[in-house]
Structure formats: C-alpha cells, structure tokens
C-alpha cells in the first residue's frame, strides 16, 4: 500500500462521481442530490486527509532532500486549490438541484478539482514517490486510510491560509527536530 496510490484512487473516484452526475436526468433531483452530497463530502474529506497527512510529509521529505522551495510552492498551491474547491462546493449549495445554475456550479467545482488533481499528480505525488521510501509511503497510506475511515461521515469544511499552513507544518518539523509528523500534530494557523 502506498499513499500516492490511495490518493490516485480517490482521484479516480472523484472523477467517476462527477461523470455519474453528468449522466443522470436533470429531473431526478433526489438522485442528483444524493450523488452530489456524497461527492461534496468526499472532496472535503480527501482534502482534509491530504492536509493532515500528505502535505506535511511532502514538506518533510522535501526539506530533508534540500528541495524546500519546490515543496513549499507545491503545498501553498495545493492548500489554495483546496480552498477554491471548498468555495466551489459552497456555490453549488446556493442553487436548486437540477437547474442550469446548479449544473454550472457543479461544472465549476469539477474544473477546480480537475485542475488541482492534474497538478498534484504531475508534481506533488511524483516528487513524493521520488523522495520518500516505500516503507514511509506505506505507513502514510495506513494513516490516510484510517483517517478517511474514521471520518467517513464527512468533516467540517474550513478554508486555510496557505502560508500559515506551511509555517505551522514547518514549525512542527522544527520542534520535533525534523522527525516524523504524527497524524494530527499539525497546528492550525
């Protein structure tokens, strides 16, 4: 098991759920609502799991490999992307299900999420596979799977200040002497 593969699996499921929404008759608002509610909760849970587990670890291995600037930029961008996805999800909730406005908001959420996934797959996940050993990726996968399982009913969406997030993660690394971050050790900015 590898955290990068678990993240890719989540991305596949997100793409699948967006595709399902595109294939449901717009008058079937009960089904549209059910699928959207599941997708919206999943998007937030996935983002939160990455913020709790993956991105602190990416910063850690990047700093150790003397690639601090690159992983900081990737992390800043990812946290900003997560905020944009949260905002897009909130916008969907402002519209009546099945209307043109609702579909436009869902499409905007899909676009924000797709852009984020593509960049993360091209940069963050690739860098992490190169910088972190398989045993570290395995342990993080266990933590990631457990986090998602414990929070299967969803988590509260909370936008984060990207710079504050990186500062807190790096401070946690400094305090622990660059040792491993434990799940939940990242202080909120």
Q: What angle do CA 112, 118, 121 make, to 5 degrees?
A: 135
Segment 120-138 shows an average pLDDT of: 97
- Percent above pLDDT 90 for the chain: 88
Alpha carbon of residue 105 to chain centroid:
19
What pLDDT was estimated at residue 89? Answer: 98
pLDDT, the chain, mean: 92
What pLDDT was estimated at residue 175? Answer: 73
Segment 115-139 shows an average pLDDT of: 97
pLDDT of 173 higher than 90: no
Q: Which residues contact 51 (CB under 8 A, 6 or more apart)?
A: 79, 82, 160, 165, 186
pLDDT of 178 higher than 70: no
Cβ atoms within 10 A of the Cβ of 14, count? Answer: 20
Token pair belonging to 138: 């395995």
Q: Tell me, what DSSP letter sits at residue 156? A: -
Range scoring the smallest mean pLDDT among 7-16, 53-62, 79-88, 168-177: 168-177
d(C-alpha 165, C-alpha 10), whole Å:
23
Could you tell me which residue, 107 or 186, shows the higher pLDDT? 107
């Amino acid at each position: 098991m590898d955290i990068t593969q678990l993240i890719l699996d989540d991305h596949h499921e997100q793409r699948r759920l967006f595709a399902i929404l595109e294939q449901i008759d717009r008058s079937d608002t009960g089904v549209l609502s059910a699928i959207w509610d599941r997708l919206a909760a999943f998007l937030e849970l996935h983002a939160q799991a990455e913020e709790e587990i993956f991105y602190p670890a990416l910063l850690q291995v990047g700093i150790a490999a003397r690639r601090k600037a690159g992983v900081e930029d990737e992390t800043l961008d990812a946290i900003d992307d997560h905020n944009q996805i949260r905002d897009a999800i909130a916008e969907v909730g402002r519209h009546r299900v099945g209307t043109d406005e609702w579909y436009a908001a869902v499409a905007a959420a899909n676009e924000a999420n797709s852009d984020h996934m593509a960049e993360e797959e091209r940069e963050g996940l690739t860098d992490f596979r190169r910088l972190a050993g398989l045993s570290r990726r395995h342990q993080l996968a266990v933590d990631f799977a457990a986090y998602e399982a414990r929070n299967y009913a969803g988590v509260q969406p909370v936008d984060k200040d990207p710079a504050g997030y990186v500062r807190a993660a790096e401070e946690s690394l400094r305090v622990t002497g660059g040792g491993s971050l434990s799940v939940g050790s990242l202080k909120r900015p």
